[in-house]
Structure 1
Amino acid sequence: MIAGNLPSKKETIDLYKSFGITRMRIYFPEAEVFEALKGSNIELTVDVAKESLQAISSNPNAAKDWVNINIVPYSKDIKFRYITVGNEIHPGDVEAQYVFSGMQNIHDALASFNLGQIKASTAIDSSLLGKSYPPSDGAFSDAANAYMQKIINFLVPNGSPLLANIYPYFAYANNKKDIPLEYALFTQQGKNDVGYQNLFDAMLDSTYAALEKIGANNLQIVVSESGWPSFGGVGTSIQNAGAYYQNLINHVKSGTGTPKRPNQPIEVYLFAMYDENQKPGAETERHFGLLHADKSRKFPLNFNNVTMLFMIFLGFLLSIELEFTTAQSPGVCYGMIPGNLPSKKETIDLYKSNGITRMLFEALKGSNIELIVDVAKESLQAISSDPNAAKDWINTNIVPYSKNIKFRYITVGNEIHPGDVEAQYVFSGMQNIHDALASSNLGQIKASTAIDSSLLGKSYPPSDGAFSDAANAYMQKTINFLVPNGSPLLANIYSYFAYANNKKDIPLEYALFTQQGNNAVGYQNLFDAMLDSTYAALEKIGANNLQIVVSESGWPSFGGVGASIQNAGTYYQNLINHVKGGTGTPKRPNGPIETYLFAMYDENQKPGAETERHFGLYHADKSGKFNLNFK
């Protein structure tokens, strides 16, 4: 749920029961929800998150682990109904290639645990239709035909329904010239010229017609989302939203079906239980809720004996998902958000050819490259709250490769801030990963977390470095784990951003290591000053001897003040030389500085400021932007 101040999971499930709602869908597995659902008789649909599709698609064992971790332990106490492998994936999306084999692998995993009554499927939206009117002419677009053909080739023989998100609101809002509001709200008197009294039935039947045209005449559709917003756009109001939801409930309860499937039950899931006041996108996206955060209803709906689902987005996605980070002294982080990159093996070969000795898995075996692996932000809650989840993560992602790959650190959270909801999971997440490593006799691999410089309240002069009041307690708890366990603190040090945000006081030469001589406080470069201010902050909370590993540092070659090929090349080469020189920093003289350059490639699809897409050392064709010497 992308909102604040919501009722607890238990309170929400109690609401479902009090309303007589007998089916629920969640968009990722979560132990707290499962515990609250035990013995409730509510049937549950669980999504495999988009970020997990590749792993589950490409590796049957990953699918088996997912089912074993998230379904099997609860299967005696919860009625699981469907596993949704992908929500609104479009044929042109990179994830489209993973849907078919993902469903197959989840199906096989369920069967291996004697859970074949739980069906694997996927959820589509109406944009896959190339024609939708009249409903009998419904057909998938040319772009979607092959994709949908493959999907039904899985669904039909396995007796699984197709899930479809049907939103009359968006159809009406995008074409109110031709679609009367009454038709969209089920309030039209009589049928139109093609025999339909409401838009919901027309949209559902056009999808059935499209399925028939590709040979799936008897495939059932489950309406996995439907709703109407109460604010923020054309036709949105409390009155209209209430009318839509109640009329849809009544329509489903009546059992009349649709003109194409008369007298057949329609399984429908209303979206959503609560408004999502923190959800990005159009204003309407934040106002689909039936209830306010205080559990009071927006409209006087009657749910009695309705076998419907209400969607709830609950916290964080539980998936074994890795963010691959790489390093040497210096190492190089493997940025992976562009298209047309070299293969993993080519990339590892590039690391080796350049003498970079710290950086997937299969390609890394026997390479002598040391590897840091991040626990993805979305997985923190599960790993923090359940030691067994942490152990499963290690058993799946580390143990099978530990004889052939030199794992160095497991990073539990990257740039988590004290005010972030994920902050509560970092300490226990590190502890659980540490314990899981120890139980597998892998205690040489250290668990840590990566911070950024925004946690400092004061950074100049470096000797006065101190964490902000907001960060103090968070950092104290972090070092209470790191120090006794001999783990370093990981810190992302970006001289570029410090310079770009204060070029009035910070000379470019100081940021690029090209300044001649020391400044008034004894520093010749900004990197050392930023690193030492973090050391000073650690000393002030009692971590005098804690080592810092610089887990990210880089300079963009385009897109902002001071960003150029020349400046980026100068920064990277001078940082490499500084690290190799072994001189340390003024606060830690002659000590090695373990540093990871960010990033291997430009990330041309990365969101955010233009600079974020230009930190790469290499182009996608493996040619270097700069003539760097790592050796």
Structure 2
Amino acid sequence: MSDFLLFVALVSYFISLNLEVGGATSIGINYGLLGDNLPPPERCVSLLKSRNVNRVRIFDPNHDVLTALANAGGMEVVLGTLNADLEQLASSPSFAAQWVSAHVIPFRPRLKFRYITAGNEVIPGPMAHLVLNAIKNLDSALKSAQITDVPVTTAIGMASIGKSYPPSAGEFSDESRPYAGPVVEFLASNGYPLLANVYPYFAYKGDPANIAREYALGNSVAGGGGKRVVDGNLEYRGLFDAMVDAMYAAAEKVNGGGLKVVVSETGWPSAGAEVATVDNARAYVNNVAAKARAGAGTPRRQGSEVETYLFALFNEDLKPQGEEQNFGLYRPDLTEVYKVDLN
């Protein structure tokens, strides 16, 4: 083989390797259990493996699911605590130690714990004051168990943001700031990420007069539609990027300048409301997946991969009727609701 052909072959190999790694690691899926007709965890994990998805987020330490993930090999999990446990986790270091002993240690090292999340969308709210101490106690419990590679964080929603337009003006609301600020500062000082649930669907649904549907879907990124938002020298062609950057801007205003934002939930329902259609869901989710695979980041954080977890694996019939039951990529019988290019 000539030197030139060898060079071409090596370049092609490394490009394909990069694409494979990006597809396998930059996109995760939320695996919820609010359904009375869901397949057993082993079949669900096999489905994820068949799609080259090795990152999963679960909302509570269900041992059947954790066992299936551990047995599959090569899986990474974002493990949530129950919101109902936050009070004990915040007030009792011994309870936090017991939680780690019961739900983390038995599954290591077969299962990689990517993050532990203390609560989901509790800032703002009546339990917001518990989040920081719960994070600290879990972090101390992990370190006492000689586990130093598992960041502890929390997941917040856009309800914590008081101002989001333009993205550079993003800031936490007056209700959220007293609790989000110290959490962000702790996370940033430890190199831990902040998890954010980002739903352009709900933003668009709440203000269709001022938000273009193509902009909400991210179709401008995919080549359709021309809607854009200019923010200083930055240009946004999709609401997803704008919402993520508003979260970055909010974090920067409370000493979180070096913080990484992980999108712990994002999706679009395929039924249950006027704009909740299969076509819209397919367009939005594929656009987000393409962004995650590309690793190009957002306008505010260019070149920084947006680690993204799609919501959700299944339609779940125990959720409230309507759109909430229809965020799944799959039906409980394992048939696709619509096609998603994950890798």
TM-score bucket of the superposed structures, by smaller chain: 0.7 to 0.9
User: Alpha-carbon deviations, 1:497-526, whole Å to 9, x = none?
Assistant: 001001111111111111244624121000
Contact 1:328 1:596 survives alignment (8 Å): no
User: Alpha-carbon deviations, 1:572-607, whole Å to 9, x = none?
Assistant: 111101111122111001110000001100011112
Aligned partner of residue 117 in structure 2, secondary structure: strand
Q: How many residues align?
A: 303
Of residues 78, 96, 106 in structure 2, which corresponds to 1:400?
A: 106
Contact 2:188 2:257 survives alignment (8 Å): no
More RCO (CA 8 Å, sep 6+): 2
Instruction: Provide the C-alpha distance between the structure 1 equivalents of 2:109 and 2:295, rounded to a whole number of angstroms.
Output: 31
Choose 1 or 2 for highest CA Rg: 1
Task: Please state which structure has a larger fraction of its residues in helix.
Answer: 2
Residue in 1 aligned with 2:11?
Answer: none
In 2 relative to 1, CA 386–509 (structure 1 residues): closer, same or farther, beyond 3 Å? same
Q: What displacement does 1:629 show?
A: 1.7
Instruction: Provide the C-alpha distance between the structure 1 equivalents of 2:246 and 2:216, rounded to a whole number of angstroms.
Output: 15
User: Alpha-carbon deviations, 1:215-245, whole Å to 9, x = none?
Assistant: xxxxxxxxxxxxxxxxxxxxxxxxxxxxxxx
Of residues 307, 311, 314 in structure 2, which corresponds to 1:598?
A: 311
User: Alpha-carbon deviations, 1:428-485, whole Å to 9, x = none?
Assistant: 1000000011111111011000000011111001111111112111111112321222
Of residues 304, 321, 337 in structure 1, which corresponds to 2:34?
A: 337
Q: Which runs of 4+ in 1 moved over 4 A?
A: none
Amino acid at match of 2:101: N
Q: What displacement does 1:419 show?
A: 3.5
Q: What displacement does 1:417 show?
A: 2.6
Instruction: Spell out the pairing of 1:537-576 with structure 2 (5 A cutoff).
Output: 537-576=250-289
Instruction: Spell out the pairing of 1:301-312 with structure 2 (5 A cutoff).
Output: none
Contact 1:500 1:561 survives alignment (8 Å): no
Instruction: Provide the C-alpha distance between the structure 2 equivalents of 1:418 and 1:496, rounded to a whole number of angstroms.
Output: 21
Instruction: Provide the C-alpha distance between the structure 1 equivalents of 2:295 and 2:26, rounded to a whole number of angstroms.
Output: 10
Q: What displacement does 1:540 show?
A: 1.2
Of residues 44, 49, 53 in structure 2, which corresponds to 1:347?
A: 44
Q: What displacement does 1:369 show?
A: 1.4
Q: What displacement does 1:390 show?
A: 0.2
Amino acid at match of 1:384: A
Of residues 171, 185, 189 in structure 2, which corresponds to 1:466?
A: 171
What CA RMSD, in Å, does the superposition of the two structures yield over aligned residues? 1.3
Residue in 1 aligned with 2:9?
Answer: none
Residue in 2 aligned with 1:88?
Answer: none
Instruction: Provide the C-alpha distance between the structure 2 equivalents of 1:576 and 1:328, rounded to a whole number of angstroms.
Output: 11
Residue in 2 aligned with 1:431?
Answer: 136
How does the TM-score come out when normalised to structure 1? 0.47
Of residues 53, 61, 71 in structure 2, which corresponds to 1:356?
A: 53
Contact 1:582 1:593 survives alignment (8 Å): yes
Instruction: Provide the C-alpha distance between the structure 2 equivalents of 1:371 and 1:509, rounded to a whole number of angstroms.
Output: 32
Amino acid at match of 1:528: D
Amino acid at match of 1:401: F
Query: Does 1:487 find its partner at 2:192?
Result: yes
Instruction: Provide the C-alpha distance between the structure 2 equivalents of 1:409 and 1:441, rounded to a whole number of angstroms.
Output: 16
Residue in 2 aligned with 1:412?
Answer: 118
Aligned partner of residue 533 in structure 1, secondary structure: helix
Of residues 72, 86, 89 in structure 2, which corresponds to 1:383?
A: 89
Contact 1:415 1:450 survives alignment (8 Å): yes
Of residues 193, 196, 206 in structure 2, which corresponds to 1:501?
A: 206
Instruction: Provide the C-alpha distance between the structure 2 equivalents of 1:580 and 1:603, rounded to a whole number of angstroms.
Output: 27
Query: Does 1:610 find its partner at 2:329?
Result: no
Instruction: Provide the C-alpha distance between the structure 2 equivalents of 1:621 and 1:418, rounded to a whole number of angstroms.
Output: 37
Residue in 2 aligned with 1:524?
Answer: 237
Ranges in structure 1 where 5+ consecutive residues have no aligned partner: 1-326
Ranges in structure 2 where 5+ consecutive residues have no aligned partner: 1-23, 57-64
Percentage identity across aligned positions? Answer: 40
How does the TM-score come out when normalised to structure 2? 0.86
Residue in 2 aligned with 1:586?
Answer: 299
Instruction: Provide the C-alpha distance between the structure 1 equivalents of 2:241 and 2:211, rounded to a whole number of angstroms.
Output: 14
Contact 2:314 2:332 survives alignment (8 Å): yes
